[in-house]
């Protein structure tokens, strides 16, 4: 039995089905990638965000198109939520020239700078200062956009977190730091790696607001991030929003998950953010069972199509190796 | 033509670029009213204000990453690191972020930033404020590395560095700051990747960088009195490296001595020596290539010890004589 979530009254009049669509796209994308890794059809490494769909989709749902994000090494969800084409994402994982990075970046480095996705990052904590710098551009050029900086609980123990928070705070930069606390930094449980329960409490040290939201409730995420984005857009500076969530899969493909119990996993599966949103929409009469099934099937087909697109796409040539090192 | 110090030349290049292009700004520690650790930005805040002469907290990880993020979104930041030794703290942003972004994003995005930083020994600042670490940066694809030795070169190379769409590390030698040369008032550019023949000669080629250019010229003057004609080449930029000028010189003289202040072991001198050994100039060599570099020791405090840790004029004279005595 899934836990219930409430739809905020002001949202009931809007079309919320795109949230469900995106969350399913992310889920199916990740499951497909998982499957292909297992079969050896995709190489390298990858970090899946199954179970964390609400924090990506809810956070980006409150942005305007001109706003920007920086992402993490668990970034497929952020990328899809920011409007990336799943064809080009999947092609990137297949190492093809039609991929977002022409097959040179792979899972950990997908970016779409033109559309405001400043990139996933293979370095834990690598995005904090980049997001801060993008927010500085917004302020100096008076461009009015806000930057969302996604990070994990593990990254909040990196020095770059503290340095960037301090800088963004003193300069009142339009950046919102969104912590997706999925309970583990690789195999390290958050509760063993820091002596505060909430990453959001660390906001006190930088004189910025910090708020905890239910990371498996897309509306709670939208509400928390929405307030912080407004604040940032009004020139009041950064905030930390911490979305408590859980990654269903291991850290990466080689992870046997020995550091956690199956009971714990089951507890969190009962809070499946997609089932909760679906049930809420149906419960409020905003969606029928049939149309929910249609949305799901359409999302699944897009991912299947992206696989076909990727398989049909060309591999880079050896001549491409030395291209794009310098502008 | 008027004479300027190297320090004034750096400041003039920045000021003229900032007047010309409002995307250019400076960030760094104590660069505002204080004028920077070495006084390079003195007076600039009065003209350009605190928005563009952006005083930062002591926070190298944040400010280097902020420069990357600002560059990626349309600004042209100049980052001043107080001492090049502090690169260790900015390393992730320069090596893993700035240098990689364009390539790993498949040619999307660019990072037009300049990291200026004083390097080298000779000020009694000892081990953590005196290093020459340019070989680290020259090793990383995606970065360009500049090492001017004269005021004229500093101004023209800095202008070129600011115009670059790639991240540039701009090493200023502390002992060069007070040296003077004729510097045109107008803004001019010296292309990166173009070496300068500081003195023509026919018996032996010395390739020297930064402060060692001055010492090599002193040595050449002494050697001339003894009837030995020395050609002194300053590569000015390590990346890109003007191999052609060096190869042509060695073909002419048949002998090569490479001199830099950085520790000889793993230093850039090895790269220059190998480049010659692999080139057609090898067949013109009349003696083995000599390398002079710093001893493999942290720079000590005591002035006599400090001086003896790096090559001096007499060492260069001796090396030239040695190469002339070998066949």
Give the residue from chain B lying closest to A116, CA to CA.
Answer: B73
Residue A181 has pLDDT above 70, yes or no: yes
Average pLDDT, stretch A207-236?
Answer: 98
Is residue B296 within 8 Å of residue B263, measured between CB atoms?
Answer: yes
A104 and B103 within 8 Å at the Cβ level: the answer is yes
C-alpha torsion sign, points A156, A159, A162, A167? negative
ipTM: 0.95
Give Rg (Cα) of chain B. Answer: 19
pLDDT in tens, B36-90: 999 999 999 999 999 999 999 999 999 999 999 999 999 999 999 999 999 999 9
pTM of the full structure: 0.96
- Pair of tokens at residue A263: 């009971």
Give the residue from chain B lying closest to A98, CA to CA.
Answer: B106
Out of A111, A130, A159, whose CB is closest to B69?
A: A130
Average pLDDT, stretch A160-176?
Answer: 98
Tell me what percent of the residues of chain A surpass a pLDDT of 90.
92
Q: Angle B302-B308-B311 (CA atoms, 0-180°, nearest 5)?
A: 140
* pLDDT (0 to 100) of residue B112: 98
Return mean pLDDT, chain A.
96
| A→B interface, C-beta within 8 Å | 68, 70, 99-105, 109, 111-114, 118-119, 121-123, 126, 128-138, 140-141, 159-160, 163-164, 166-167, 170, 323-327
Average pLDDT, stretch A175-195?
Answer: 95
Q: Give B265-272 contacts, CB < 8 A, sequence gap 24+.
A: B265/B293, B265/B296, B266/B135, B267/B135, B267/B291, B267/B293, B267/B294, B268/B134, B268/B135, B268/B138, B268/B209, B268/B238, B269/B293, B271/B135, B271/B138, B271/B238, B271/B241, B272/B207, B272/B235, B272/B241, B272/B246
| Residue of B54, B66, B79 to mutate, testing the A interface (most A Cβ within 10 Å of its Cβ) | B66
- Pair of tokens at residue B300: 């000590």
How far apart, in whole angstroms, are the C-alpha atoms of residue B104 and residue A325? 9
* pLDDT (0 to 100) of residue B153: 98
Instruction: Compute the nearest-CA separation of A271 from chain B (Å).
Output: 35
Active-site residue identified among B129, B173, B214, B260: B129
pLDDT in tens, B244-264: 999 999 999 999 999 999 999
Chain B residues with CB inside 8 Å of A103's CB? 106
Out of B70, B104, B165, whose CB is closest to A327?
A: B165
How far apart, in whole angstroms, are the C-alpha atoms of residue B246 and residue B206? 9
C-alpha torsion sign, points A111, A117, A123, A129? positive
Residue A252 has pLDDT above 90, yes or no: no
Instruction: Compute the nearest-CA separation of B276 from chain A (Å).
Output: 23
Greatest Cα pair distance, chain A, in angstroms, is 56
Chain B residues with CB inside 8 Å of A120's CB? none
The question of whether B129 is a catalytic residue gets the answer yes
Out of A101, A135, A159, whose CB is closest to B104?
A: A101
Instruction: Compute the nearest-CA separation of B107 from chain A (Å).
Output: 5
Residue A3 has pLDDT above 80, yes or no: no
Give the residue from chain A lying closest to B144, CA to CA.
Answer: A326
Strand partners, A325: none
* Residue located via tokens 């996933």: A120
Give every residue of chain B whose pLDDT is below 70, as ranges.
none
Give the residue from chain B lying closest to A95, CA to CA.
Answer: B106
* pLDDT (0 to 100) of residue B271: 98
| Residue of B102, B106, B109, B163 to mutate, testing the A interface (most A Cβ within 10 Å of its Cβ) | B106
Tell me what percent of the residues of chain A surpass a pLDDT of 70.
99
Count interface pairs A-B at CB distance under 8 A. Answer: 146
| Residue of A89, A94, A163, A317 to mutate, testing the B interface (most B Cβ within 10 Å of its Cβ) | A163
Instruction: Compute the nearest-CA separation of A231 from chain B (Å).
Output: 21
Q: What is the dihedral of CA B97, B103, B104, B109, to 10 degrees?
A: 70
Is residue A152 within 8 Å of residue A72, measured between CB atoms?
Answer: yes
Residue A45 has pLDDT above 90, yes or no: no
Chain-centre distance of CA A266, in angstroms? 22
Out of A68, A113, A129, whose CB is closest to B108?
A: A113
A166 and B59 within 8 Å at the Cβ level: the answer is yes
Average pLDDT, stretch A272-295?
Answer: 96
Peptide bond into B90 cis (omega under 30): no
* pLDDT (0 to 100) of residue A1: 60
Instruction: Compute the nearest-CA separation of B73 from chain A (Å).
Output: 6
């Amino acid at each position: 039995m899934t836990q219930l979530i409430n739809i905020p009254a002001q949202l009931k009049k809007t079309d919320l089905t795109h949230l469900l669509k995106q969350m399913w796209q992310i889920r199916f994308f990740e499951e497909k990638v998982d499957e292909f890794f297992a079969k050896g059809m995709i190489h390298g490494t990858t970090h899946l965000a199954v179970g964390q769909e609400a924090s990506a989709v809810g956070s980006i749902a409150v942005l305007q198109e001109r706003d920007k994000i920086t992402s993490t090494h668990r970034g497929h969800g952020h990328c899809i939520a920011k409007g990336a084409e799943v064809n080009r994402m999947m092609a990137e994982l297949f190492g093809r020239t039609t991929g977002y990075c022409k097959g040179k970046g792979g899972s950990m480095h997908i970016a779409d700078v033109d559309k405001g996705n400043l990139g996933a990052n293979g370095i834990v904590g690598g995005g904090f200062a980049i997001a801060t710098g993008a927010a500085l551009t917004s302020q100096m050029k008076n461009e009015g956009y806000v930057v969302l900086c996604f990070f994990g609980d593990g990254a909040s123990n990196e020095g770059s977190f503290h340095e960037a928070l301090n800088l963004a705070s003193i300069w009142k930069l339009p950046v919102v730091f969104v912590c997706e606390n999925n309970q583990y930094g690789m195999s390290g449980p958050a509760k063993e790696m820091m002596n505060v329960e909430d990453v959001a409490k660390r906001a006190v040290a930088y004189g910025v607001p910090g708020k905890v939201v239910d990371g498996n409730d897309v509306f709670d995420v939208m509400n928390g991030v929405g307030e912080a984005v407004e604040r940032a857009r009004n020139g009041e500076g950064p905030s930390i929003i911490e979305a408590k969530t859980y990654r269903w899969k291991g850290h990466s493909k080689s992870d046997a998950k020995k550091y956690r119990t199956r009971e714990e996993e089951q507890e969190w599966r009962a809070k499946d953010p997609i089932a909760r949103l679906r049930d809420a929409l149906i419960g409020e009469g905003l969606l029928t069972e049939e149309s929910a099934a249609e949305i799901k099937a359409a999302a699944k087909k897009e991912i299947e199509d992206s696989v076909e697109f990727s398989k049909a796409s060309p591999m880079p040539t050896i001549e491409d190796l030395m291209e794009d090192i310098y502008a | 033509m008027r004479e300027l110090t190297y320090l004034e030349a750096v400041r003039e290049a920045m000021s003229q670029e900032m007047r010309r292009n409002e995307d250019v700004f400076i960030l760094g520690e104590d660069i505002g009213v204080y004028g920077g650790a070495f006084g390079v930005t003195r007076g600039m805040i009065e003209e350009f204000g605190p928005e563009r002469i952006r005083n930062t907290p002591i926070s190298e990880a944040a400010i280097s990453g902020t420069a990357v993020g600002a560059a990626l979104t349309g600004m042209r930041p100049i980052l001043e690191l107080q001492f090049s030794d502090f690169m260790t703290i900015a390393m992730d942003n320069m090596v893993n972020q700035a240098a990689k972004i364009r390539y790993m994003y498949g040619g999307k995005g660019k990072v037009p930033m300049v990291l200026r930083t004083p390097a080298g020994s000779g000020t009694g600042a000892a081990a953590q404020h005196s290093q020459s670490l340019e070989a680290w940066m020259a090793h990383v694809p995606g970065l360009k590395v500049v090492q001017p030795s004269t005021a004229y070169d500093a101004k023209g190379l800095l202008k070129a560095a600011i115009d670059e769409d790639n991240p540039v590390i701009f090493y200023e030698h502390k002992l060069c700051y007070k040296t003077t040369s004729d510097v045109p008032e107008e803004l001019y550019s010296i292309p990166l990747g173009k070496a300068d023949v500081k003195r023509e000669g026919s018996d032996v080629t010395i390739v020297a960088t930064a402060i060692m250019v001055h010492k090599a010229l002193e040595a050449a003057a002494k050697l001339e009195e003894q009837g030995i004609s020395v050609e002194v080449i300053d590569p000015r930029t390590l990346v890109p490296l003007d191999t052609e000028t060096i190869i042509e010189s060695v073909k002419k003289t048949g002998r090569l001595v490479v001199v830099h202040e950085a520790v000889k072991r793993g230093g850039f001198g090895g790269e220059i020596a190998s480049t010659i050994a692999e080139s057609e100039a090898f067949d013109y060599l009349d003696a083995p290539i000599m390398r002079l570099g710093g001893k493999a020791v942290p720079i000590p405090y005591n002035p006599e010890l400090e001086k003896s840790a790096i090559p001096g004029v007499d060492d260069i004279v001796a090396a030239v004589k040695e190469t002339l005595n070998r066949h």
